[in-house]
Structure 1
């Protein structure tokens, strides 16, 4: 399992790299917030360990940026002990919070828990509707057995809908998933990308059976 450590403390990173590598993790490291985002985009880690107090983008900004395109579990590892910091990190999209200094056994237990959750989700990573199969693990889409090319934005939109089949996904939620903020003005972009997805995936794009619009609210994927 691939793990990214984003922390500007080289001694801690070195110690974690040695320990976690010994437990079978493939460890990558980034020394500041901007480097963490770049490393995550390039390496696609399975889990991210993230410090809050880093140069060139703090931890909260990194979480917000990452949550625009990845659902990889994020564990905040920070010396900040205030409940407000924990709440802010969790609200931004972190999955867990470990306060420094910590016992390595505790960190390993939390990593195992998140690994089980991730592996469990991957076991149900294929979503099918009509003659379309969406593979969330390999990030591929086929229709009638043939590969369908999606743009990165189209994929992020479809992926989020596929992870919540049958549920209403609001416009605000999609804006946050695609662009990292629900404050971005829609300006018709979601309608445009949904139209493109329907043309590629629906038998009758003008009268969709699966990628549905909930007027005034958002969208729903019906299997």
Structure 2
């Protein structure tokens, strides 16, 4: 039996056309799926059933915001959740992540709700600033963040005098999360520009 036969993907989307598109695409690739058009129906399914191993969730549901669904589910389940949304605002995406969706990248995982960072089976202990830096980079995986942007987001100001501190914290963060700090796979330095969290397969 293949992995695709062992569980169901729950598609939570109120737009019938979009819902049909997603379920058809899953079916073509051999995945089993179930549908829910409201937050209430989705939560009922997840509460009663034990065969859901992935949730594809729209944020704009008619009876409840998708971020509330994530928060509710995270109270008792760690089922992976993929957010499917037409919202363009970064704030909405960050809110969805902060609602408890666990970030996973290679062996690195961040539980935003518990503020716990794990690589493989090992918990990584970070300082408050190291954690802020990691979360900021994780929320922007694949994007190069400039020194000024990082300083404003983490320190609240983009002073040139704070740049050496940023470099020190990034160096200590790299030592903690990288399997081999000399050959980083997560945190990429763009000399003179900033840093980027790479997507690790």
Q: With structure 1 as the length reference, what TM-score do the two structures score?
A: 0.44
Q: With structure 2 as the length reference, what TM-score do the two structures score?
A: 0.49
